[in-house]
Amino acid sequence: MTEKKATRTNILDTFAKLIEQLEEDAYANKTVIVYYSGHGKIINEDTYCLCPNDFDWDTKANGISATEFVEQIDEIAALGVERIL
């Protein structure tokens, strides 16, 4: 997804759809590639986030924290996916 479609909600919904598809189709021992090309921002000493298209640079709203991103990858890995890039 690109440009205006690359919002926080759409990105997280796409992760949810991917996870649902992996659960239904038993993709264990398969390869999943997650590619993000965009901006990131250090919010404070402990928080870094990806900045989707709807990220508000003034309020820092709508970012996807590194923790949230890793949680999505961990959910995919927990399904038995062998290789995650």
List pLDDT tens digits, range 15-60: 999 999 888 876 557 889 999 999 999 988 888 999 999 999 999 9
pTM over 0.75: yes
φ, ψ for residue 48 (rounded to 5)?
A: -120, 145
What local confidence, expressed as pLDDT, does residue 9 receive? Answer: 97
What local confidence, expressed as pLDDT, does residue 44 receive? Answer: 86
Q: Which of 24, 1, 25, 23 is nearest to 13 (CA)?
A: 1
With 90 as the cut, is the pLDDT of residue 82 above it?
A: no
